[in-house]
C-alpha cells in the first residue's frame, strides 16, 4: 500500500488529462510514447494489471488471458477508428473507463472472482482507449506501426500493474487495499467528470 498510493499520485501529477498530442513522425515510437503522455491511459492500464493480479490470485493463466483480451480489444478499437466510425463523446467514455477500472479492482474482494466480468470490462475499456488513441494520431504517423507501439506500451504498463497487484496478494489487508485502490479510481473518475 505504501508503494501503490505514491505511484498513482505521480500519474495524477501529469498536467494533461486526456489530450495526448503525438509529436513524433515515427509511427512505432509515437505509439510507444503515446500512452505515457497522459495519465488516463497509464492509470487505467495499471488498474487493469492490479485487478488481474488480485482477481487471478495465483492463476497466471487468467493474467495472460486478460493481457490477450487487452491487446485484442485495443486492436478492435483502433480498427473501429480507422474504419471511420465516429463515436461521439468518447472523452466521457474515457472517464467511464476509469470508473469501470475501479469496479474491476474491487471485484477481487469477492471470494469467487468474476473472471468473465473482468474480461468483458477489460475489453470495453481497451476498445475505448484503442479508438481514442487512433483518432488522436496525425495522418503523418502510420496508423499500423502507431497502434503496435500503443499495444506494446500498454502491455508493459499492464504488467507493471500486475507487479503492483502481486505485492498486495500476501498482505494481510488485501481486501482493504483493493477497496481503497478501487475507490480511488471511482473518485478520480468522478472528479474528472466534473
Domain extent, residue 84, equals 26-193
Q: Quick one: which of 54, 93, 36, 72 has its CA closest to 182? A: 54
Positive or negative torsion for Cα 53, 56, 61, 64? negative
Domain membership of residue 128 (yes or no) is yes
| Cα–Cα distance, 148 to 179 (Å, whole number) | 33
pLDDT at residue 15 greater than cutoff 50: no
Say which residue, 3 or 111, is predicted with more confidence. Answer: 111
| DSSP alpha helix (H) spans, the chain | 4-12, 27-33, 39-56, 60-82, 90-107, 115-135, 143-169, 174-193
Instruction: Please name the residues in contact with 189: beta carbons below 8 A apart, sequence gap of 6 or more.
Output: 95, 96, 98, 99, 102
pLDDT tens by residue, 162-188: 999 988 877 778 788 888 999 999 999
Using CA atoms of 77, 154, 58, 53 in order, give the dihedral in degrees to the nearest 10: -90
pLDDT at residue 83 greater than cutoff 60: yes
Q: Are 158 and 52 in contact (CB under 8 A)?
A: yes
Domain membership of residue 129 (yes or no) is yes
Model confidence at 140, in pLDDT bands (50, 70, 90)? low
pLDDT at residue 6 greater than cutoff 70: no
DSSP 8-state code for residue 36 = G
Domain membership of residue 13 (yes or no) is no
pLDDT score at 99: 94
Say which residue, 174 or 22, is predicted with more confidence. Answer: 174
Highest mean pLDDT among 16-30, 33-47, 53-67, 153-167: 153-167
| Cα–Cα distance, 155 to 129 (Å, whole number) | 13
Domain membership of residue 65 (yes or no) is yes
CA Rg, the chain, in Å? 16
pLDDT score at 136: 74
What is the count of structural domains for the chain? 1
Domain membership of residue 8 (yes or no) is no
Q: Are 134 and 77 in contact (CB under 8 A)?
A: yes
DSSP 8-state code for residue 111 = S
Whichever domain contains 118, its CATH number is 1.20.1250
pLDDT score at 175: 81
pTM more than 0.75: yes
Amino acid at each position: 500500500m505504501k508503494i501503490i498510493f505514491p505511484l498513482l499520485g505521480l500519474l495524477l501529477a501529469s498536467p494533461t488529462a486526456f489530450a495526448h498530442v503525438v509529436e513524433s513522425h515515427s509511427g512505432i515510437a509515437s505509439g510507444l510514447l503515446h500512452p505515457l503522455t497522459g495519465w488516463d491511459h497509464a492509470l487505467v492500464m495499471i488498474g487493469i494489471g492490479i485487478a488481474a493480479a488480485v482477481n487471478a490470485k495465483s492463476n497466471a493463466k487468467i493474467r495472460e488471458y486478460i493481457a490477450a483480451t487487452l491487446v485484442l480489444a485495443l486492436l478492435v478499437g483502433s480498427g473501429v477508428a480507422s474504419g471511420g466510425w465516429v463515436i461521439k463523446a468518447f472523452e466521457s467514455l474515457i472517464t467511464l473507463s476509469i470508473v469501470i477500472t475501479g469496479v474491476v479492482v474491487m471485484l477481487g474482494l469477492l471470494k469467487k472472482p468474476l473472471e468473465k466480468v473482468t474480461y468483458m470490462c477489460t475489453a470495453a475499456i481497451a476498445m475505448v482507449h484503442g479508438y481514442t488513441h487512433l483518432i488522436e494520431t496525425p495522418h503523418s504517423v502510420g496508423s499500423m506501426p502507431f497502434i503496435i507501439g500503443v499495444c506494446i506500451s500498454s502491455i508493459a504498463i499492464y504488467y507493471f500493474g500486475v507487479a503492483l497487484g502481486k505485492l498486495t496478494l500476501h498482505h494481510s489487508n488485501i481486501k482493504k487495499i483493493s477497496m481503497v485502490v478501487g475507490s480511488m479510481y471511482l473518485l478520480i473518475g468522478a472528479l474528472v467528470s466534473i
